[in-house]
Amino acid sequence: MNNRKRQIISAARKLFIEKGYADTSIVDIIAAANISKGTFYNHFSSKSECLIAILEETREEAVNRRYEVALNRDLSDINVLIEQISLLMHVNRERNIVRIFESISGNTDHEVKTILEKHLILEMNWLANRFVDVFGEETRNVSFECAVYAIGMMQNALKTFLIATGQFGNPELIIRSVVRNIGYLIPHFLENQEQIITPNILQALLDKIEHKPITKELVVNQLKGFIENLTEHDSKKGYEYALFLLKELEEPNESNTIFEAVLSAFNRVFNNTSHEAEAHQISIYIWRYLDLKISVH
């Protein structure tokens, strides 16, 4: 991501938090970013595209941190799952995305509604698969149903706590309680087989998610482009990490352990730079490529 685009996103995020999404205009963003109208439209076709970029960037950071939390740990450990779920909430709070979500509540913009729906489906699908890791393969047929219940309970518990106290609740305490309660409900779901989320509904939801195949070629090309855009003003260590990742990807037999050791450092060194979003995206591509290889073998 170039500096101008980063500048626009940063200005838009600040305005959306301070004024609200609806009360922020493209003119406001242009003035705050100190750019021309033409520069804005070179990067975004609308205000909603700015919002989508902010939400995508935040989710990518959370996804990367979830991968890092799970490194060398047992995926069936309920504590790992609780920590991973909490991360999205912590990232949203750190970036003050909660205020943006509040400001777009009830928004009828088609692009905004579509991206919010996509993020919700991605989160439910991720949680459904993690429930299988924690509670066993026999729960797969009801895991998505459990994810729907869990997300609904967590969101409403946190909202209720905020209404009552004026403060955000402790995500870990609420998530731990909800996940354990889901564990108690699973035998009931398995016994009664009364599902709201039937296979047809589940497939309809998954069809709304754009699936981009993650191949070695895709990751290598993305990483090469990233390296080409680095300059002498960027971190030398970051450049070395990127080259190392590229070299490992080009090896016929890559080592997952080496990738796991380097990816976290690669992400951290580009945090709070103009390359942060692309570094996160590359990391996610590599994680998913590794996941694919593991599932194939």
Extents of the domains making up the chain: 1-45, 54-206, 216-296
What phi and psi, each to the nearest 5 degrees, are found at residue 194?
-100, 95
What's the pLDDT tens digit per position in 251-281? 877 777 778 778 888 988 888 788 887 888 8
pLDDT at position 14? 92
Residue 127: partners with Cβ closer than 8 Å, 6 or more residues away: 85, 147, 150, 151
pLDDT at position 293? 60
Q: CA–CA distance from 19 to each of 9, 14, 25, 28 (Å)? A: 15, 8, 10, 10
* Percent of the chain scoring above 70 in pLDDT: 96
Domain 1-45 coded CATH 2.40.260.10? no
* Concatenated DSSP letters of 277-293: HHHHHHHHHHHHHHHHH
Cβ atoms within 10 Å of 222's Cβ, excluding its own: 15
Confidence band, pLDDT 50/70/90 cuts, at residue 295: low
What's the pLDDT tens digit per position in 102-150? 888 777 778 888 888 999 999 999 999 999 999 999 999 999 999 999 9
For residue 15, with 0-12 CB atoms within 10 Å meaning exposed, 13-18 middle and 19 or more buried, which class applies? buried
- 211 pLDDT exceeds 80? no
pLDDT at position 296? 45
140-165 helix and 110-135 helix, angle to the nearest 10 degrees: 120
pLDDT at position 271? 83
Q: Which residues of 251-278 are buried (b: 16+ CB within 10 A; e: fewer)?
A: eeebeeeebbebbbebbebbeebbbbbb
| Among the listed residues 38, 64, 33, 54, the one whose alpha carbon sits nearest the alpha carbon of residue 265 | 64
- How much is the average pLDDT of 193-216? 84
Residue 245 tokens read as 């990742």
With beta carbons less than 8 A apart as the criterion, state whether 277 and 5 touch.
no
Residue 99 tokens read as 């205020």
Q: CA–CA distance from 31 to each of 23, 34, 40, 150 (Å)? A: 15, 5, 10, 42
- How much is the average pLDDT of 37-66? 91
Confidence band, pLDDT 50/70/90 cuts, at residue 294: low
With beta carbons less than 8 A apart as the criterion, state whether 9 and 54 touch.
yes
pLDDT at position 139? 95
What's the pLDDT tens digit per position in 10-44? 899 999 999 988 899 999 999 999 999 999 999 99
Helix (H, G, I), strand (E, B) or coil at 179: helix
Mean pLDDT of the chain: 88
Q: Which residues of 79-98 are buried (b: 16+ CB within 10 A; e: fewer)?
A: ebbbbbbbbbbebbeebebe
